Amino acid sequence: QVQLVESGGGLVQAGGSLRLSCAASRSVLSIDRMGWYRQAPGNKRELVAAITSGGNTNYADSVKGRFTISRDNAKNTVYLQMNSLNPEDTAVYYCNAAVITGFFRDEYSYWGQGTQVTVFS
C-alpha cells in the first residue's frame, strides 16, 4: 500500500554531512511509523532513526546527537539529516514504513530500494 522512493546518498568525507530523503506514496500522517535502517557489509540491518505519526522520535545510541529525522507533511517526505559522519556510518540505508491495521493489529512493513552512503577518511 506504500511505495517509498529514496534519494540523497553518496560519498562524503569523514566529518561531513548528508541529507537523505524518502518520498512516500501517501500521507506520512497515515503511516504509523516511518524510519531509516542501515546495513553495513557483514552486519545485520539495524534501526537508525524512526518517527511515529504522532511525531515521537527515537534514535540508535550510535547516531544520537549527530542524526536528525524529520518530515514534511505537505511533501509526504521523511528526511534523515546526518552530521559528523564517520566511516562506521558507511552502509546501505533503507527507508521503512510500518502500518498497523486490522482487529489483531497486524503490522505491515514496506521498504525502499536502499541508497548507499560511503564515508571515507
CB contact at 8 A, 53 and 32: yes
Q: Which three cell numbers stand for residue 26?
A: 501517501
Q: How far is CA 66 from CA 6, 15, 86, 93, 103, in A?
A: 20, 10, 10, 16, 39
Residue 10 has pLDDT above 90, yes or no: yes
How far from chain centre, in Å, is Cα 116? 12
- What mean pLDDT comes out for the span 4-20? 97
Would you place residue 12 in the very low, low, confident or very high pLDDT band (cuts 50, 70, 90)?
Answer: very high
Q: Determine the pLDDT at residue 75.
A: 95
Cα separation, 94 vs 112, whole angstroms:
6
User: What mean pLDDT comes out for the span 25-49?
Assistant: 94
- State residue 29's pLDDT score: 86
The distance of Cα 86 from the centroid of its chain, to the nearest Å, equals 17
Q: What is the pLDDT of residue 63?
A: 98
Q: What is the pLDDT of residues 87-107, one digit of tens each?
A: 999 999 999 999 998 889 999
Residue-level pLDDT at 76: 94
As given in the structure block, the three cell numbers for residue 110 are 514496506
Residue 28 has pLDDT above 90, yes or no: no
- CB of 37 within 8 A of CB of 50? no
pLDDT at 109 over 90: yes
Q: How far apart are CA 63 and CA 119, in angstroms?
A: 14
- Predicted confidence at residue 1, as pLDDT, reads 80
Q: CA–CA separation, 94 vs 33, rounded Å?
A: 14
